[in-house]
Amino acid sequence: MKVKAEIQNFISIVLGILSASIGLKGFLLSSKFIDGGVTGISMLIAETTGFPISVLIFVINAPFLYLGYRRLGLLFAIKSALAIGGLSLCLAFMHFPDVTPDKLLTAVFGGFFIGVGSGLAMRAGAVLDGTEIAAVLVSKQTQLLRVSDVVLLLNVIIFSTAALFLGIESALYSILTYVAASKMIDFILNGFEQYTGITVISTKSDVIRRVITQRLGRGVTIYQGKSGYGKDGQINDPRDIIFTVATRLEIPSIKQAILKIDPSAFIVQQSIDDTTGGLLKRKGIH
């Protein structure tokens, strides 16, 4: 089973390398648009100095691969080194024709293919860009910045530099490329069925639980809690707190059913990046 999983990971990394190569050589490089992260730094240096981007991508990523080895293990470092090395070889030796001269299409679809490539590599336990590794380490050291804050700060610096050396128009299109790539990475990692957690506090929790499980086909978890304010009863009155997970498309119907039972129910929603196990798919309702 493990061998089969690693074969699937290998295929995913190869497809990711090819997709990212198409995005770079088929769209971005000829238009002087860049992406974010280490890839963007490599493209910017290559554009301003003429140094081969295939070499720059591997060299600049090398320190991050070492950090990944120290923090995330040997297997991650090997997979990532092979993925980044494969991307460098593709950029050096494979030919991809320029797909379109249209700048908007170039920015959007260049980001699309890079995002697909990065997402496939991440799903296989590797990276094509070492920025995320650095962001995790910096956020742990400072404890004041989240990983997303560090990535955003780095990319602000990259695109500001791009505006200085490549011009405002190229920098703006590059930001569009980065946004497209980020959205595709989210889609590859989370899919259409991005889940949302719902917490419900109500005096009619038992009825709500039955509706969610029996009529809507969703699993629930019940927490034991107490009233902290007393608006619906005495302070410290015991009550059940319901937690369930559903897709974004199912949220409106679940909220509508809850509020129909108890219009004063307190409902809290939070985004969930990943889930494992439990009842995530709808049960068959008879």
Separation between Cα atoms, residue 58 and residue 38, nearest integer Å:
10
- pLDDT tens digits for range 38-68: 999 999 999 889 899 999 999 999 998 988 8
pLDDT of the residue at 36: 87
Global pTM value? 0.74
**CA-based nearest residue to 250, from 221, 275, 281, 278:** 281
- Residue with token string 């595709």: 184
* Domains (range + CATH), the chain: 2-190 (no CATH), 195-271 (3.30.70.120)
Q: What is the pLDDT of residue 169?
A: 92
For residue 275, what pLDDT is reported? 64
Q: Which residues does the chain have with pLDDT short of 50?
A: 284-286
Going through 23-106 in order, the beta strands assigned E by DSSP cover: none
Copy the structure tokens of residue 63.
Answer: 């320190």
Residue 138, classed as helix, strand or coil, is helix
Please say whether the beta carbons of 38 and 61 come within 8 A: yes
* Inter-residue contact 157 to 222 (CB < 8 Å): no
The strand pairing partners of 244, in sequence order, are 198, 220
Between the CA of residue 243 and those of 58, 201, 215, 276, what are the distances in Å?
A: 45, 9, 16, 16
Q: What is the phi/psi pair of residue 240, to 5°? A: -85, 135
Residue 199 has a pLDDT of: 93
Angle between helices 37-49 and 53-72 in degrees, nearest 10:
150
Query: For residue 264, how many other CB atoms are within 10 A of its CB?
Result: 10
Whether the CB-CB separation of 261 and 208 falls below 8 Å is answered with yes
β-strands 238-247, 220-226 pairing: antiparallel
In this prediction, residue 285 carries a pLDDT of 45
- DSSP class of residue 30 equals G
- CB distance 213 to 219 below 8 Å: yes
Rounded to an integer, what distance in angstroms lies between the CA atom of residue 270 and that of residue 243? 11
pLDDT, position 232: 63
Instruction: Round to whole Å and give the CA distance between 86 and 49.
Output: 23
